[in-house]
Structure 1
Amino acid sequence: MIGLIFGDTDFPKEILKTIKKRKIKYLIIDLSKSKKFKKDKKSYSVSIGQFGRIIKILKENKCKKVLFAGKVKKPNLSRLRLDLKGIYYIPRIIKASKLGDAAILKEIIKILAQNNIKTENSLIFNPELSLRRGNFSKIKPNKQDQLDIQKAIKTLNILRDYNFSQGVVVRDEKVISIEGKGGTKKMLERSRSKKFRNHGVLVKLPKKKQDLRIDLPTVGLNTLKQCKIAGLKGIVVKNKQHVFLDKNKCINFANKNKMFISVK
């Protein structure tokens, strides 16, 4: 039995498909904003502040391992439903929340570990969703693209340890936009250019000192489409440190639109 702690994005759906196909026993702790797994009989809708209930559910079902997938947004602390353990642990969550979403998840992992519950890598059941180093499109980055990629990687590397930014857009070696709280979509909307078409790059890398079991940069077909609208030429992610959804559709889209998909 494994506990699936799911937030938003389509990544959890892919994990659930694999687990059901392999007939692995599971339960879901649904932390998604829209409670998207409420129809599943093995799903429990829980507030992030109900640590007592979360731990009780896991232990009653003999879940000694959990897996995190999907985005868990910073909660509105004034509206959290707390149980007794939630009240005990909430100061740690408040402290972590000041450092960003990833820090909240890391603190939850520590709390679970103190209750003898181990956190597995989010890709343990779906390793095929992470691409190896190489180029996955017919078009390859040219010299200018490589300079833009280098600038983007350098920019992400100098951001502070718990900065929420996983992505940056660079065009002609100029930083056009850095991912903010609105996520990749908002960043790409800010990067649109009437002057440039098929020019510039989106680079998405894990945060510095990020726990690679959770919250990996995620891209998919919508990301490619948004890059196209923004006038960008390609996407770059890091070797085995990302989640790539709709891989074949993305490659076909990139080839059709003369874009590149590159893994460093």
Structure 2
Amino acid sequence: MTVPRLAILAGGGALPIAVADGALAEGREVVVFGIDGEASDEIARFRHHTIRWGEIGKLLDLLKREEIGEMVFCGSVTRPDFSSIRLDFGAIVHLPRILAMMVGGDDTVLQRVITFFEERGIRIVGAHQVASGLVARPGVLGRILPQRRHDEDIACAFEAVDLLGRLDIGQAAVAVGGRVVGVEGVEGTDRLVRRIIEMRQIGRLRWKGREGVLVKAAKVQQDLRVDMPVIGPATIEVVSQADLAGIAIEAGRVLILEREATIDMADKAGIFLVARQRKIDP
């Protein structure tokens, strides 16, 4: 059976590059479609095209010309200012559908985008399906072990993430001393941890040494084909600055960028990094 050619619709950050490298390592033919103003210049390492917001017709034509059978969405994107978008003919043809797709929360919008492409013969797959080496496996990653006192923080933060996910809000929470002190909103995990740093600086939060845990997990109802949670070296850096004791992630449902570098940074900072299976209640 012939493996279909893979498109990577690339937003910002390092994830699209890591997925492209991972997919190539697993024997896939890859074409990267970089969103102009979002995608890294590193997409030049691959067969690639650049797409501007509003160039729906161009994208659909290129997908057909490149004989794409599957596509991955990955990388960060900023919702554009629609008044500044120049629509091509293909976008104008589909404008009522496109406008309807943009209404709602992130999960709702992404599901509508998936349906749009799959109706046109492009199967949407997840990064974990084409670059399995990025997926967090269960266990302690690195040399630092979580202590018994951290288990309560981990359980507490996982419970908070469950609630956040059901409301389609965020994928991360911080717990210290058995209570949640911060949850992720639309601004992302990095900003969540920086709020913890700011609260410590003004004396709203106090502890000595390294305490507390950042937990990151997929939303309970999440379609893993889109917006799968990610950690990497930048996560370790900000967690270290916050004097948190460690990071717990959901095994099988979180991606790790630059795995070796991430684990090495955690070890050097004295931060534990653990991936745990999570029981999801319906």
**Same fold by TM-score greater than 0.5:** yes
Residue matched to 2:280: none
Cα pair distance change 1:106/1:33, threshold 3 Å: farther
* 1:157 pairs with 2:162: yes
Q: Give the letter aligned to residue 173 of structure 2.
A: V
Cα RMSD of the aligned pairs, angstroms, is 2.4
Cα pair distance change 1:25/1:137, threshold 3 Å: closer
The 10-residue stretch of structure 1 (96-105 or 229-238) with the greater mean CA deviation from structure 2: 96-105
Deviation, structure 1 residue 32: 5.5
In structure 2, distance between residues paired with 1:95 and 1:144: 48
In structure 1, distance between residues paired with 2:54 and 2:232: 31
Deviation, structure 1 residue 173: 2.2
Cα pair distance change 1:90/1:230, threshold 3 Å: farther
The 10-residue stretch of structure 1 (185-194 or 96-105) with the greater mean CA deviation from structure 2: 96-105
Which secondary structure state, in structure 2, belongs to the residue aligned with residue 123 of structure 1?
helix
In structure 1, distance between residues paired with 2:167 and 2:116: 19
Cα pair distance change 1:200/1:22, threshold 3 Å: closer
Cα pair distance change 1:122/1:138, threshold 3 Å: same
Name stretches of at least 5 consecutive residues in structure 1 with no aligned partner. none
> In the TM superposition, what whole-angstrom CA distance separates every residue of 1:100-127 from its partner, at most 9, and x where no partner exists?
3343332221101000111122123321
Residue matched to 2:248: 236
Question: Which of 215, 223, 229 in structure 2 is aligned with 1:211?
Answer: 223
Task: Map residues 48-63 of structure 1 onto 2, 5 A cutoff.
Answer: 48-63=53-68
The 10-residue stretch of structure 1 (117-126 or 28-37) with the greater mean CA deviation from structure 2: 28-37
In structure 1, distance between residues paired with 2:213 and 2:230: 16
Q: Give the letter aligned to residue 33 of structure 1.
A: G
Identity fraction in percent: 24
- TM-score scaled to structure 1, two decimals? 0.88
Residue matched to 2:33: 29
Equivalences, count: 264
> In the TM superposition, what whole-angstrom CA distance separates every residue of 1:137-167 from its partner, at most 9, and x where no partner exists?
3332223211111111111112254624111
In structure 2, distance between residues paired with 1:110 and 1:175: 37
Task: Map residues 184-223 of structure 1 onto 2, 5 A cutoff.
Answer: 184-192=189-197, 193=200, 195-196=206-207, 197-223=209-235
Q: Give the letter aligned to residue 259 of structure 1.
A: I
> In the TM superposition, what whole-angstrom CA distance separates every residue of 1:172-200 from its partner, at most 9, and x where no partner exists?
12222211222111111101135323111
In structure 1, distance between residues paired with 2:60 and 2:167: 26
Cα pair distance change 1:140/1:88, threshold 3 Å: farther
Cα pair distance change 1:36/1:256, threshold 3 Å: closer
In structure 2, distance between residues paired with 1:77 and 1:159: 28
Paired residues of 1:49 and 1:86 also in contact (CA < 8 A): yes
Paired residues of 2:216 and 2:249 also in contact (CA < 8 A): yes
Q: Give the letter aligned to residue 79 of structure 1.
A: S
The 10-residue stretch of structure 1 (120-129 or 159-168) with the greater mean CA deviation from structure 2: 159-168
Q: Give the letter aligned to residue 234 of structure 2.
A: N
Residue matched to 2:279: none
Paired residues of 1:165 and 1:178 also in contact (CA < 8 A): yes
In structure 2, distance between residues paired with 1:160 and 1:97: 20
Deviation, structure 1 residue 58: 0.4
Question: Which of 136, 141, 144 in structure 1 is aligned with 2:141?
Answer: 136
In structure 1, distance between residues paired with 2:33 and 2:150: 42
The 10-residue stretch of structure 1 (240-249 or 70-79) with the greater mean CA deviation from structure 2: 70-79
- TM-score scaled to structure 2, two decimals? 0.83
Task: Map residues 1-264 of structure 1 onto 2, 5 A cutoff.
Answer: 1-19=5-23, 24-31=28-35, 33-37=37-41, 39=44, 42-159=47-164, 161=166, 163-192=168-197, 193=200, 195-196=206-207, 197-264=209-276
Cα pair distance change 1:96/1:179, threshold 3 Å: farther
Paired residues of 1:93 and 1:104 also in contact (CA < 8 A): no
Paired residues of 1:102 and 1:162 also in contact (CA < 8 A): no
Paired residues of 1:74 and 1:97 also in contact (CA < 8 A): no
Name stretches of at least 5 consecutive residues in structure 2 with no aligned partner. 277-282
